[in-house]
């Protein structure tokens, strides 16, 4: 029996053993009348810990190859966390650095947000403009092999490490896809991923498309700056907020974005076992769009922070949610640094929409379901009309025929969900009385116009 193992066994035999409590935890416990001292300091199960020590020693002595003690401990921690839920993981140096880079908006790799399901890596969403998107990877794809090596039950950080590599180098992924009978191979060229988290364009005069590909640290402020510019440049009639395939990210950024459309009030709140996991997030006063109609697009790749935005605007009846059911990640992960190069990403809370809905494993259900589809017109221009009939009465007044612009026709053919969102915004405005200036004259009463 080595000195390390003897020390470990001696430590296990010390009784009573209690979970360590930091000064901050102690203060939080003291301030919470519902939090008992027994919950904060529970004795560790000595029998199970003894079993762990026995297994640890058997591996050290009998495994076919020698494994360093430090690596065994890391494997034990990885297994402990992976058994909890798909989002609790042990982050070594590379994975820890990757997480920090991602929230800052620039990192090296393939450009995919991933989770783990059934022992394999699942793509939650490819990032806009990334090598993964260019290679045709889609939300819901399952990565089975990397460069010919199976990654079943491989720790997430090991899988991420295999997908990392020098810029310009290739990685071969074997992918499974729902609806495709056999796995297929995809070659992706690694690159530096510089992610503009917010993009926009005018769909037609007065109607803005605002696309958030993920929630980085400054995403909310970037969206607010785009909206400010659009409001200053002309008459804005409505906004499509596109959160499809947005895998989430920084919680505060999603609160900032939702808050831009809300006049104060609750955006989201969190609850967990630890008192410090309970928190609520409110919007600042003032709806910067002053009630203009909003449609939010979501799909199965919309997760976490993007679901916070959709859920808040849906509960507060501020936007119409359109598309398909979202991913359903309603949990909050906290990064707990262990050293300068290692950390634990631990699920510490669930988040709830303003009406108290937990969307964990349920997702946000759209108000109007519109599935992505290929649209083909069945209308024929050769149909006979009244004006074509011999002897028909002439129109009293000539009216110019209206038809869709080429850009709208292209939008309908290429992205039917976005086309339907724009159509809904236009319909809302058709039924909303136009805003007219309030006037006042001698003996007249001021008229308050309805908001356009």
Q: Quick check: helix, strand or coil at residue 366?
A: coil
Could you tell me the two tokens for 260? Answer: 């831009």
Question: Which runs of consecutive H residues, i.e. helices, occur in 305-415?
Answer: 305-315, 406-414
Containing 143, the helix (H) or strand (E) segment is strand 142-146
How far apart CA 159 and CA 146 sit, in angstroms, is: 8
Residue 174 DSSP symbol? E
Asked if 113 contacts 137 with a C-beta cutoff of 8 angstroms, the reply is no
Could you tell me the two tokens for 327? Answer: 């991913």
Residue 203 DSSP symbol? E
Asked if 179 contacts 114 with a C-beta cutoff of 8 angstroms, the reply is no
- Rounded to 10 deg, the angle between the 219-233 and 251-261 helix axes is 20
Asked if 209 contacts 294 with a C-beta cutoff of 8 angstroms, the reply is no
Residue 343: burial class (beta carbons within 10 Å; 0-12, 13-18, 19+): buried
Q: Cα separations (Å) of 448 from 105, 221, 292, 356, 441?
A: 46, 33, 17, 36, 14
Phi, psi for 266 (deg, rounded to 5) = -75, 135
How far apart CA 323 and CA 319 sit, in angstroms, is: 13
How far does CA 151 lie from the centroid of its chain?
A: 24
Other Cβ atoms within 10 Å of 394 Cβ, number: 7
Asked if 262 contacts 287 with a C-beta cutoff of 8 angstroms, the reply is yes
Asked if 242 contacts 418 with a C-beta cutoff of 8 angstroms, the reply is yes
Give the residue numbers marked as catalytic.
304, 315, 329
């Amino acid at each position: 029996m080595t000195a390390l193992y003897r020390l470990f066994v001696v430590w296990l035999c010390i009784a009573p053993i209690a979970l360590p409590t930091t000064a901050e935890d102690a203060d939080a416990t003291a301030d919470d009348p519902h939090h008992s001292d027994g919950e904060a300091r529970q004795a560790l199960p000595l029998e199970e810990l003894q079993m762990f020590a026995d297994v640890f020693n058997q591996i050290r002595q009998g495994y076919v190859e020698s494994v360093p003690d430090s690596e065994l401990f890391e494997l034990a921690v990885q297994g402990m966390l992976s058994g909890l839920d798909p989002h609790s993981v042990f982050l070594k140096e590379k994975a820890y650095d990757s997480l920090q880079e991602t929230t800052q908006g620039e990192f090296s790799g393939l450009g995919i947000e991933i989770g783990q399901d059934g022992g394999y890596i699942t793509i939650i969403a490819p990032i806009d403009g990334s090598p993964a998107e260019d290679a045709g990877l889609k939300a819901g794809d399952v990565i089975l092999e990397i460069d010919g090596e199976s990654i079943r039950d491989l720790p997430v950080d090991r899988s991420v490490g295999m997908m990392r590599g020098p810029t310009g180098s290739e990685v071969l992924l074997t992918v499974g896809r729902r609806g495709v009978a056999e796995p297929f191979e995809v070659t992706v060229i690694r690159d530096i991923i510089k992610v503009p988290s917010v993009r926009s364009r005018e769909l037609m005069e007065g109607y803005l498309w605002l696309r958030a590909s993920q929630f980085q640290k400054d995403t909310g402020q970037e969206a607010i700056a785009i909206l400010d510019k659009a409001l200053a440049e002309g008459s804005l009639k409505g906004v499509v907020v596109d959160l499809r395939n947005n895998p989430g990210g920084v919680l505060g950024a999603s609160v900032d974005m939702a808050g831009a459309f809300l006049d104060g009030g609750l955006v989201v709140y969190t609850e967990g076992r630890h008192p410090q996991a309970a928190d609520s997030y409110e919007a600042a006063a003032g709806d910067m769009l002053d009630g203009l109609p909003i449609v939010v697009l979501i799909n199965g790749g919309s997760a976490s922070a993007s679901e916070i935005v959709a859920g808040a605007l849906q509960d507060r009846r501020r936007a119409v949610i359109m598309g398909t059911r979202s991913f359903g990640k309603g949990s909050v992960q906290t990064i707990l640094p262990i050293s300068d190069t290692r950390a634990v990403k631990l699920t510490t809370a669930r988040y709830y929409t303003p009406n108290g809905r937990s969307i964990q494993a349920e997702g946000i259900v759209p108000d109007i379901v519109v599935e992505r589809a290929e649209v083909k017109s069945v209308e024929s221009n050769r149909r006979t009309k009244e004006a074509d009939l011999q002897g028909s009465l002439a129109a009293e007044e000539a009216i110019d025929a209206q038809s869709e612009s080429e850009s709208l026709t292209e939008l309908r053919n290429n992205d039917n969900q976005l086309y339907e969102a724009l159509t809904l915004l236009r319909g809302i405005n058709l039924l909303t009385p136009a805003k007219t200036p309030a006037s006042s004259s001698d003996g007249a009463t001021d008229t308050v116009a309805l908001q356009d």
